[in-house]
Amino acid sequence: MQIGSGFSHADALNQITRATEQINQLNQRIVDADQGLSNKLVNMAVDQKVAGNQNPEGLLDLLA
């Protein structure tokens, strides 16, 4: 089936599929970055505790 001039239903579905794959890849990058940031904040809180800061939990509040 043609949509408009020379643009088929299959072409539209292929574009939607490619766009969906790109969105999924971007979402995975966001998840990975978020996990990396969470790990960094936890490590910073541990470092602060080891350094003698009695209240490093403020860093962990950023995870909430």
Would you say 34 and 19 are in contact if contact means Cβ atoms under 8 Å apart? no
Q: Which residue has the higher pLDDT, 63 or 50?
A: 50
List, for residues 16-56, the tens digit of each pLDDT value: 999 999 999 999 999 999 999 888 888 888 888 788 877 76
Residue 3 pLDDT > 60, yes or no? no
Predicted pLDDT of residue 64? 66
In the 3-class helix/strand/coil scheme, how is 1-45 assigned residue by residue?
CEECCCEEHHHHHHHHHHHHHHHHHHHHHHHHHHHHHHHHHHHHH
Which residues fall within 8 angstroms of residue 38, CB to CB, at 6 or more apart? Answer: 63
Backbone angles phi, psi at 31, to 5 degrees: -60, -45
